[in-house]
Amino acid sequence: MRSADLPEVRSIHLFQDMEEATFDAILKAAYFQTFPDHVDLIQEGDPADFLYVVVEGCVELFATSNDRETTMAMVPPIGTFILAATLKDAAYLMSARTCQRSRILMIPSEDIRAALKKDKAFAAAIIWELASCYRAVVKEHKSLKLRTGVERLANRLLRYHNDQGRNGSLLLPHDKRTLASLLGMAPENLSRAFNTLKPFGVKVDGARIHLDNLPALETLAKPNALIDDRTI
């Protein structure tokens, strides 16, 4: 892999506390590859041979059943995916595809499992990461069960707005089809949900969204730290 990426990979939570020797061993076993846009990386049901790290680009995790498909999560750099399947040596529950040209680090699952047995700090980091992933899905699940589509969109906009500096405007990080699927609605309904939010100061200009009446939007959204705050 490019040596310039090394410190970045090392700096993510999962790897930062591990011993130098463990990190070296893992990197030695790993593959580093660049994929074009829209390439399938893994398919749900397949055995979890690798842990994936997105170094550049972006990866969509999605799931399928009954000819229906839904986006489960988007993984930006530097992020890992399907840690749980890797650790349990089980089948992937989600499929993954690139949604941009992406540089991906692939670490054989058995090397991950070997490393965590040897390296206490790595085991601790994995526990932390798994607990965080678990809580993230629980929050998603709560959102879907407790909120309407419009409310989910409103809160998602507030989240992006926070992430991007709270300056009254935000850029959607994914295209609207993907956002719709992520929020659990049809693309058409996302359009309509944006219209519903217009009286609450939400102006849409392509991927650029302006929030002109934050108090009104927050009144409608009723954001809840135990759903929307990803830091807890």
Partner DNA sequence: AGGGGTAATTGATCAAAATCAACAGTGCGG
Partner DNA sequence: CCGCACTGTTGATTTTGATCAATTACCCCT
| Least gap, CB of 123 to a copy of itself (angstroms) | 5
88 near a copy of itself, judged by CB under 8 A: yes
Which is nearer to DNA, 18 or 96 (by Cβ)? 96
Phi, psi of 9 (to 5 degrees): -65, -45
For residue 54, what are the β-bridge partners? 79, 104
Distance CA 143, CA 56 (A): 29
Choose among a copy of itself, DNA, none what residue 222 binds, the Cβ cut-off being 5 to 8 Å by kind.
a copy of itself
175 near DNA, judged by CB under 7 A: yes
Tokens of 38: 């829209």
Q: Are 39 and 8 in contact (CB under 8 A)?
A: no
Considering only 11, 186, 229, 230, the residue that binds DNA (CB under 7 A) is: 186
Q: Among candidates 27, 8, 47, 31, which has minimal Cα distance to 115? A: 27
Q: Among candidates 43, 173, 37, which has minimal Cα distance to 98? A: 37
Residues at the contact surface with a copy of itself, assessed by CB under 8 A: 44-45, 63-66, 68-70, 72, 83-85, 87-88, 90-91, 93-94, 116-117, 120, 123-124, 126-128, 130-135, 137-142, 144-147, 151, 184, 222, 224-227, 232
Residues at the contact surface with DNA, assessed by CB under 7 A: 68, 148-150, 175-177, 184-195, 204, 206-207
